[in-house]
Structure 1
């Protein structure tokens, strides 16, 4: 059995692009794609409030309601690929949460979207993708922004 982690942003088109690449490149019939969304504490609270959920919300349920996760799931379901949804809570940098999630879901590969940023933008704002590529212990497939 092969497992792939696909962290989906709130941007549906990006999530669809990554899911399309998974569909096109993963021919394994025994594949499960874990579609995830990374939350910080503020996003857990705001998403819960937007969905009128009282009390402590389940982050997997919150993740399943995110537009990017839904877009990726639709593409994968259309291709009859097994899926799971995981919400990932983090404090600090999202890259660390993604790297930790690779291990916690026992993923063999990681698929991520790369948006175009200038070198100055990367230096000023950091790069989650860059940190994940450096720290991940599994192959990382990077879907370029021009794949849309």
Structure 2
């Protein structure tokens, strides 16, 4: 089984683009398992990944296409949570959604995608922003 880690945020359209990218990979649902991950940086109300519209929509889409889907949630810095989860599950691929950030924004706030790309010890697929879901 080919294991894919799909970290998402609250943007449902971006998550659906990631799901489409997974559907376009070779192998298909019989050979691929997807773990959808959300890292809560601040979660005083105790929210769960199942409460996120982005998670529910992508889980539904992938399951309807026949994929085995697991929802997972972490707490803390997103890039660290993604890399730790990928290592723990021994993911074959990390499928992450890119988003446009200004150079100043990257310097001030960092970039989860950039950190994952630079620090991952496995393949990373970055989904384009302009691909329709």
TM-score with structure 2 setting the length: 0.91
Counterpart position of 1:80: 66
Deviations, residues 58-116 of structure 1 (Å, cap 9, x unaligned): xxxx11221111121112112101111111122xx321111001011221100001001
Aligned residues: 131
| Match for residue 114 of structure 2 among 130, 141, 147 | 130
**For 2:118, what is the secondary structure of its paired residue?**
helix
Quick check: which has more Rg, 1 or 2?
Answer: 1
Structure 1 unaligned spans of 5+: 49-61
> Which stretch of the first structure deviates more once superposed, 11-20 or 27-36?
27-36
Deviations, residues 34-61 of structure 1 (Å, cap 9, x unaligned): 0111112x32x2244xxxxxxxxxxxxx
Counterpart position of 1:46: 45
Deviation of the 1:8 alpha carbon: 1.3
Structure 2 unaligned spans of 5+: none
| Match for residue 118 of structure 1 among 94, 99, 102 | 102
Q: Distance in 2 between matches of 1:135 and 1:119?
A: 20
Counterpart position of 1:143: 127
Structure with higher helix content = 1
Counterpart position of 2:49: 63
Runs (4+) off by over 4 Å: none
Q: Distance in 1 between matches of 2:39 and 2:5?
A: 12
* 8 Å contact kept, 1:31–1:81: yes
